[in-house]
Structure 1
């Protein structure tokens, strides 16, 4: 047991009177009149016994403070036995807490399992059906946004927008015609249908090569090679089948109502159009000497039957060429028979050349060549303008400007450029569409 001196902070004394006023054992006296001694004047210089007493007092004070912060006033600190007991108590309490946590976790797990078991029989079938419906809707959405054969099969408007063809049946027919000739094209990334679709989109919308590369997930070089290969195949396969000059009997048999009374001998409607080029064009592997902006264009002559079918298209002639020279050099006049009537919406300065073949030339702006009624002139003019502008409106690539790789001569024997083949292919595709002029 500690003494009262040890417990009370104000009674921590050595047990004898001292004369140092800074010591707790100092007892003041009212009878002291003498001055302080030297040791009293220097309180910091205590003797050895005073220092030991101060250490003892400090130790007692620390023990008292520890006892105050502990479990009771009668013990300055925990003994070894008490420490062991406290440790065992704390461990038992933590063990109890762990047991409680495990019980809580097991209880919660049991509740979750019970909830899952109860929901399995009620909601899982509905959730599975909802997920299947969502999956089906997402697949249909992706399919509609993609450019695949299945996405175009039941969407005629989409086929017309991307290809210019009226419906998927015509597109599939073209595919069947070209597929046997596409075996030589080795392209592991694009299927045969995708190669055809990419080329038709290039002609129809005049999309850039980089745009098509992004849409189909290929490189720009793949797009360029695909377009060139497909244009060559369609030029040799599709053009001879779809673009041809009909006989006079077929022309008169299928003559539209707008021309049947006013111009029954009409054989063809002609027009000339030009397409600008992006840069200087080399024809015959020889660059054009002194080419200017006005001469850096390609000139074409197109002939359309009264029914709206393209029957003739010339090769491109570079430079500033007149319609007469173009008609005489492209072989158009050789198609005419004596008595045929050639119509145009403007003066092309080819009347003399047409007359030399025994045919007649007339313009839709004036009176029909056969002297028809004036009321029929307006219908003839509207029909001619509609037929002539039909092809270029359907395939935007024909409006130019022509890129340099397409304008250069691709074959030395025929001296035809890739763009010449593109114009012919566009005319052939136009003939597969519904006629611009109804027969009745």
Structure 2
């Protein structure tokens, strides 16, 4: 039984959303074009003698060629339960001019409905005759063919992509209004277009979302990419684009702009794909639908760019000199912890369970009660990431990961490292003349002194910034949830790249 509240076809028992031959049924209103509407009504009456005309009637997509509803090539219904018509467009259609009164007027041969591959709208009431040109979108055509909107004003016509020239209109839902209205940004239907790229190649399938759609709004740009402004985005892209063509190619030159098959997307849109996957955690299937490429191509683009960006954007995380740290140190550190060189902490990312028993024991985290990867993060007193380690197995201790990453060796005598109580690394720092700032430990049966309480508060008030920075990194949603074990080869690169991008955001610690 169909769900309650569903709308049905006026000819058969199909309802919207019903699956027929592995396709979802859509319902379409009768067109407002007078001649096309009369042909629809005539064929409905030939099938059902009791058919009554109503403005609420809907015809399902199954009655059209391909079960996709009306299109430019097939504007009228031709497939019915007990009869299939030879013609599916207005060419050579025999139309009775007065079916309601039972009169047999002269039959006429309809003028071709399709001219130069685009539909012509004949409006019998107001005498308009408009040809839809290649620059008009499907939305413009649909609005013009329905009487509730009238003819669109030129200044309101869709500028779907102002920098491109549209060459072919999507052939679905022309001349009718579908019962559902979908947002064009998230539609999985690709609009056939052709754009010319800087390397001379052409892109046929235009993505439903490109850089130009989001660059004018800084909030939208931050949402999709994690980069706070257009100027910063273009500065980063200018830094990497020179070598991107040659270094983001696959073996055999499939994505090379000079040899082999041309790229499916522009460089800036490939860069956008990578940032959207990092920031929003989108699946490859979702990105492939948005950018009108195959899932395999999307995966290759992501993997190649991750390898490239990991080395090309290495300048975003650098170990600063003592002078640089002092010149940018907030006043709260100058007053209480002026020797602080770096604030460190560890964080973990959940991942899938590996099949190897040995890896299971190495990756299991008692703290998270899950399989995890672990990383050491270090920030300067002003909040910028100055040190980021690779991802290690989740069972490694804070002390061991600090020792293995060589963080202490980067510090100079007289520097101070601020950390949590778990970093019992005094045996590593003291021989190098580096001070360790951690909260005091409570002794058995001895209460904290007032000095110990105050010291704990002071350290907690400034050490919290490393927690805030790790939250910024994990706002890249690819790191949230459970990361697939298949990403293990590039997991460290993904982690480091997310950390690098956070350094493009405004300062974390504001000096009042």
**TM-score over 0.5 (shorter chain):** yes
Could you tell me how far apart the structure 1 residues matched to 2:212 and 2:440 are?
Answer: 47
Aligned to 2:360: 291
Decide which of 355, 377, 383 is 1:308's aligned counterpart.
Answer: 383
Between the two proteins, the alignment pairs up a number of residues equal to: 305
Preserved contact between residue 262 and residue 372 of structure 1 (Cα < 8 Å): no
Q: 1:395 aligns with which of 476, 489, 492?
A: 476
Structure with the largest fraction of strand: 2
Q: Map 1:38-437 onto structure 2 (within 5 A).
A: 130-136=152-158, 146-184=208-246, 185=249, 186=255, 188-239=263-314, 241-280=315-354, 289=358, 291-292=360-361, 294=364, 296-363=371-438, 376-377=458-459, 379-392=461-474, 394-408=475-489, 418-437=490-509
Tell me if the contact between 2:343 and 2:463 (Cα under 8 Å) persists in the aligned partners. no
Q: Structure 1, residues 242-276: CA drift from partner, whole Å, max 9, x if none?
A: 11100001101100123121111111010111222
* Over 4 Å off, 4+ runs: 112-117, 127-130, 136-146, 364-367, 369-378
Q: 1:383 to 1:133 in 2, by over 3 A?
A: same
The RMSD of aligned alpha carbons is: 3.5
Against the structure 1 CA distance between its residues 337 and 399, is the aligned structure 2 distance closer, same or farther, given a 3 Å change threshold?
Answer: farther
Structure with the greater alpha carbon radius of gyration: 1
Distance 1:237 1:370, change over 3 A: farther
**Deviation readout 1:189-232 (Å, 9 max, x if unpaired):** 22111111111111112112112122222222112111111111
Q: Is the 8 A contact 1:324 1:353 kept in 2?
A: no
- Give CA-to-partner distance per residue, 1:79-127, whole Å, 9 cap, x none: xxxxxxxxxxxxxxxxxxxxxx99xxxxxxxxx999859xxxxxxxxx9
Q: Which runs of 5+ in 2 are unaligned?
A: 1-104, 107-122, 129-148, 163-182, 188-207, 250-254, 256-261, 366-370, 442-448
With over 3 angstroms needed to count, the CA separation of the structure-2 counterparts of 1:113 and 1:195, relative to structure 1, is closer
1:311 counterpart SS class: strand
Shift of 1:130: 4.6
Q: Distance in 2 between matches of 1:319 and 1:114?
A: 74
Rounded to whole Å, the distance in 2 between the matches of 1:371 and 1:262 is 15
* Aligned equivalent of 1:19: none
Q: Which has the higher contact order (CA 8 A, sep 6+)?
A: 1
Shift of 1:374: 8.0
**Contiguous gaps of at least 5 residues in structure 1:** 1-100, 103-111, 118-126, 282-286, 409-417
**Larger relative helix fraction:** 1
Q: SS where residue 329 of structure 1 aligns?
A: helix
Q: TM-score when scaled to structure 2?
A: 0.53
